[in-house]
Amino acid sequence: MHCVIDASVVVKWMLDDPIRESHTDSARELVNHVTGRHVVWQPVHWLVEVAGVLSRLEPATVQTDITLLSELDWRIADRVNIMQRAAQLSTELAHHYFDTLYHAVALETDSVLITADQRYLSKARHLGNITELADWRTALVV
């Protein structure tokens, strides 16, 4: 099974601080599990979004973090049909376009989006190809 890991999960993995972020252990286990086992698809903006958050939360390590993230073997999905699908989702769900890009990638690549964004999950669960971070093991059939 292919997957898409949204920024809310990547940030938890990078911070790895359960006091500041809940479920960092699940995020770490997920990234460790998918590395070398699953194809990870990401929207074109994922690294920029994560770097923006980390530059605020971890300015002392953000340079190293960006390098580490850029070296991951994650595929970038930047086709026009994905951009169009994200626009459709954004309109239908009345939700931020950049969040819907992750889901559009999952839908268009037959992957599962793993998210810690409960607000988006509650709006989009009925569309399929999405699960919350706590349930990633079931979604990826570990």
Q: Other C-beta atoms within 10 Å of 29: how many?
A: 16
Q: What is the pLDDT of residue 9?
A: 96
Q: What is the pLDDT of residue 20?
A: 84
Q: What is the pLDDT of residue 128?
A: 94
The full set of domains in the chain, from first to last, is: 2-139 (3.40.50.1010)
**Chain position carrying tokens 């309109």:** 91
Largest separation between any pair of C-alpha atoms in the chain: 40
Query: What is the mean pLDDT of each successive set of 10 residues along the chain, which is 142 residues long?
Result: 95 88 91 91 97 96 96 95 98 96 98 96 96 91 60
